[in-house]
Each structure stands twice: as structure tokens, then as C-alpha cells.
Amino acid sequence: MKFLRRFPYWYLLAIPVLIYCLGAASNQAVLVANHGKFPVMLTATEYSTMCQPVDIDPDELAVIPSSSCIKGGEMLDRTHSIMGPNSHLKALADIFPLGRFVYSVGDALLYLGDWLLSFTPYMWLALTIRKLFAATQG
């Protein structure tokens, strides 16, 4: 605890790093739980374009998608896959469609930590210099 008293305003540097690490850990947990795949929840438009219909039921007038899209797990790229009922940690996966991309909670924490790290070191430096000048003056 003595170290923290000698290192003023340490939390200005620690909090953004912890937020960033929490985002990275969240994304990594989803990857590990899904065996190296990162599930993505598709919007209705993306679902209709990526999952081609296999059969059209004339009685229901509904499109029945291919079985791989219903089960999920179909790869979109080297890492991302379509979210299905067998996907794990769905709440931490890519579920927030913003613009052209879909983001996860981990992505939001990574962006927040990165944004905070863009200016908190300057705040820490300014406050530390002010504290040192106040200590030398009084």
C-alpha cells in the first residue's frame, strides 16, 4: 500500500488498462467456449442473403433455410461463425449491430479502454506535476 502512496493518481492509468484487459478476456472466453469460433448474430437481411433457401413451403409461404444456418456454426470468415442454438456465451458474442458491423461487449470494452488510454496518461502527468510543484512550494 505504501507504493500506491508514492505513485499518485495510479488509478488513472490502471482503470483503462483493466477495462481493456477485461474486453480482451471477454472475447477470448467466447473463442475458447466455442472452440475457436466467434459467433455472430445476423440481422434478418444478412440472414436472408447468407443462408440460401433450400425449400419453399407452399402452405406456409415461408422460406426454410438450409440446415447449416438453422444449427449455426457456418463460418463467415476464419474466426466468425453464424450464431446458433449450440453457441456458448451468446451474451458476450457479437450481438450489437451498429452500422455495417456487429460488435460484442468485449469489443465495446476494448474500444472504451483504448479511448481512455488516449488521454489518461496526459491527465496523470499533469496531476502528478501539479502535486510535485505543490509539495515543493509548501
pLDDT digit string (tens) for 25-39?
Answer: 999 999 999 999 999
DSSP 25: H
Cβ–Cβ < 8 Å for 110, 26: no
pTM above 0.75, yes or no: yes
pLDDT of residue 12 exceeding 70: yes
Q: What residues form DSSP beta bridges with 62?
A: 57
Give pLDDT tens digits for 83-126.
988 899 999 999 999 988 899 999 999 999 999 999 999 999 99
